[in-house]
Structure 1
Amino acid sequence: MMAHRTESTDAAGFLRLAEDIAREAGDMLLAKRPSMSTASGDIETKSSPTDVVTALDKASEQLIRARIQQARPGDRILGEEEGEAGGDSAVRWIVDPIDGTVNFLYGLPEWAVSIAVEVAGRIVAGVVNVVPRGEVFTAALGAGAHLKTAGLGVETLRCNTGVPLGRALVATGFGYAAGRRAVQGEVVAAVLPRVRDIRRGGSCAVDLCSVAAGRVDAYYERGVNRWDHAAAGLVASEAGARMGGLNGEPAGSGLVLCAAPGLFEELHDLLVPLDPERDA
C-alpha cells in the first residue's frame, strides 16, 4: 500500500502518482491471475456473451479508486467497471483496470492496466502497465513518451515515420457484437491487400503503445471507449503519432486512428470509403 499523498497539479506529479497506482494494481493482478481460468465462476458477461468481466477487473478498479481517493479526494474518477464518481474537481482520472480482459483470462500477455489524468478536458498524463511483459509506458503532456522495462532502464519513444501505406504493419481490433464484427471483417479484408500485414493483439492500449514504440506502424479500431485509449493515446501522441477519427473528428467510439503524419492520412483515405463506423 502506498503511504504518500500528493496535492501536485502538474503533469509530472500526476504521472508519478498514476505510475505508482498502475504498478500496484498490476502486481496484485499478476499475483492473483493463476487462480483464474476460463471456467471460473468469477467471470460475468456484459454487452454480449463474448464481452467478459472478471472478479479481478473489479478488484483492480476498486484498488485504483481507493488509491486515487486517498491521495486526491476531490478528484473525479471514470472507470470501466463502476462508471464516473467523485467531486467537482477539474481533474478526472480515466481508468481501465484490465484492458484486454479476454487475453488476461486466457493467459495471453497482451493486457494492461491503464490510467490517464485529464485536467479541464485535456489528457495531461498517462500510464499503461503491460504487466506480463514488465513494461510500463508513460507520457506527460509536452514531456515526451517513455518505456520503462524491468532490468533495462528507460527508453524514449518515437513512432515509425516515413512508412508508406503499402509497407505499413497495421494493428486493429474487433468489437463484441456479431453485427459489428461482420462489418469489421469486411473492412479488414479490404485493408489487408493494401498494407504490409495486419496484427490483432486484443488490447487497444497495448496496440497504441506499440505504435509509439515502433512495433507497428498504425492502428485503427471501431468502438473503443475513452478508458481504452485515454492514456495510451497520449503515449502515442507524445511519441510523434497523430491520433484522430475520420473526417476531422476526434478519436472516439466511432473510430480511433493512429499513425505518424503522412501514413495517418493514407490510411484515413483508405478507410473512409469503406465506412468503418457502420454496424450490420
Structure 2
Amino acid sequence: MSLPEQLRDLAVATAREAGRMLVDKRPVTGPEVVQTKSSPTDVVTQMDRAAEALIIERIRAVRPGDAFLGEEGGVQEGGDATGDGAVRWVIDPIDGTVNYLYDLPDWAVSIAAEVDGVTVAGAIDMPRRGETYTAVRGGGALLHTAAGTRELRVNAEVPLERALVATGFGYFTERRAHQAQVLTHVLPAVRDIRRGGSCCVDLCSLAAGRVDAYYERGVQAWDVAAGALIVQEAGGRVEGLDGAPVSPELAIAAGPGVFAALHDLLAPLDPAHD
C-alpha cells in the first residue's frame, strides 16, 4: 500500500471515530459555545475542541512525527515535519459548527494529509448523513455509505444558466454585505443557489453531482484541503481568480463545463480584481 493510501485509511478511521463521538456526546440541550472568533456569530463549541483533540491524539499514536494545522489548535510542528516526505495533517473537526449547534444535519469532519506541501489524501465524514467521502491524489474519489461504495464524478457539461450553484457567507458584516451584492448578480445568471452552511458538504455535493458549482469568499485551508482534492479527483476544478490557488480571497469549484463561465461572472465582482 502506498503512503497516500495509508494516510487516507488513517484519515477515514479517525474522521469516522470523531464523527461518532460528536453524535453520541452532543449534549441534549446543545453544545456550549466556549469562544467566538471573527464575530459573535463565528462560534467554537466545546465539541469542536474535543473532536480536534481526539483526531490529533489518534493520528499521533500512529505517526508521532507528523505536523498538524487545525482550525482550533493552529499550527503544531512535528518532529519529522521538514525535509522530503514531511507529512502535515490539515483538520477541521466540525465544518458547519453553526449547523451542529442547531442540530442541523449538514456538518462534517474533514481530515487531509499533505506530503511536502501537496495534499495527497483526504477524508470527509458526515455522520448525520451516513456518508464518508475519500480521495487519493491520482486515485480517484469515492463515496462510502451503508449501501456500498461508488466512484464520484462531477457534472461535466452544464451551461451556466442551468447550473445549480452552492455558496456560503462569511462572518464579518462588511463581507456579508459584499456577498449579498455578488449574489444579486449571480442568481439571475444560474439555475438557482443553495446555501447549506458547510464548505465541506458543498464540495462533496459538487463531487457527487448534487450541485454543479460552488464559490465562496473567506474559506480557510482547513475548510477546503480535503474537499478540494475530492472534487479534483472527481474531475472538477478548484481555483481562485485567474488560476491562483484557492485562498480566503475566493474559492471557485465546478465541473469543467461551467468553471470558466462562473469564473468570468465572478471576476468583475471581486473588489481586488483589476
TM-score (norm 2): 0.95
Q: 1:70 aligns with which of 57, 61, 77?
A: 61
Q: Is it true that 1:257 corresponds to 2:248 in the alignment?
A: no
Deviation by residue 1:50-99 (Cα, 9 ceiling, x = unmatched): 00010000000000010111110000011000101132421000000000
Contact 1:36-1:105 within 8 A present in 2 as well: no
2:230 counterpart residue number = 235
Unmatched runs of 5 consecutive residues or more in structure 1: 1-7
Query: Of residues 140, 153, 160 in structure 1, which corresponds to 2:155?
Result: 160
In structure 2, the residue matched to 1:52 is 43
- The code of the aligned residue for 1:188 comes to L
Q: 1:188-208: CA deviations, max 9, x gaps?
A: 111000000000000001100
Match of 2:174 in 1: 179
Shift of 1:42: 4.2
* Matched-pair contact (CA < 8 Å) for 2:33–2:43: no
Matched, 1:11 2:7: no
Q: CA RMSD in A?
A: 1.3
Contact 1:187 1:276 in 2 (8 A): no
Matched-pair contact (CA < 8 Å) for 2:154–2:207: yes
Q: For 1:81 and 1:165, how far apart are their aligned partners in 2? A: 37
Give, in whole Å, the separation in 1 of the partners of 2:210 and 2:263. 20
Range with greater deviation from structure 2 (40-49 or 244-253): 40-49
Distance 1:246 1:12, change over 3 A: same
Matched AA of 1:99: D
**Unaligned regions of 5+ residues in structure 2, if any?**
none
Work out the CA distance in 1 between the residues paired with 2:240 and 2:32. Answer: 38
Out of 69, 73, 76, the position equivalent to 1:85 is 76
- Runs of 4 or more, structure 1, over 2 Å off, are 34-37, 40-44
SS at match of 1:146: strand
Pairing partner for 1:119 from 101, 115, 120: 115
Match of 1:29 in 2: 22
Matches within 5 A, 1:256-275: 256-275=251-270
Aligned to 1:193: 188
| In structure 2, C-alpha distance between the alignment counterparts of 1:249 and 1:41, rounded to whole Å | 38
> Does the 8 Å CA contact 2:218/2:248 hold for their aligned counterparts?
yes
**Counterpart in 2 of 1:103?**
99
Could you tell me how far apart the structure 1 residues matched to 2:28 and 2:63 are? 32
Distance 2:140 2:63 in 1: 25
Counterpart of 2:76 in structure 1: which amino acid? Answer: A
2:13 alignment partner in structure 1: 20
Count residues with an aligned counterpart. Answer: 268
Residue identity matched to 2:134: T
Q: Identity of counterpart residues, as a percentage?
A: 59
Counterpart CA distance in 2 for 1:266 and 1:242 is 13
Q: Secondary structure at the match of 2:25?
A: helix
Q: Deviations over 1:95-122 (max 9, x none)?
A: 0000000000001111000000000111
In structure 2, C-alpha distance between the alignment counterparts of 1:229 and 1:42, rounded to whole Å = 24
- Look up the match of 2:136: 140
- SS of the equivalent of 2:35 reads strand
Distance 1:277 1:232, change over 3 A: farther
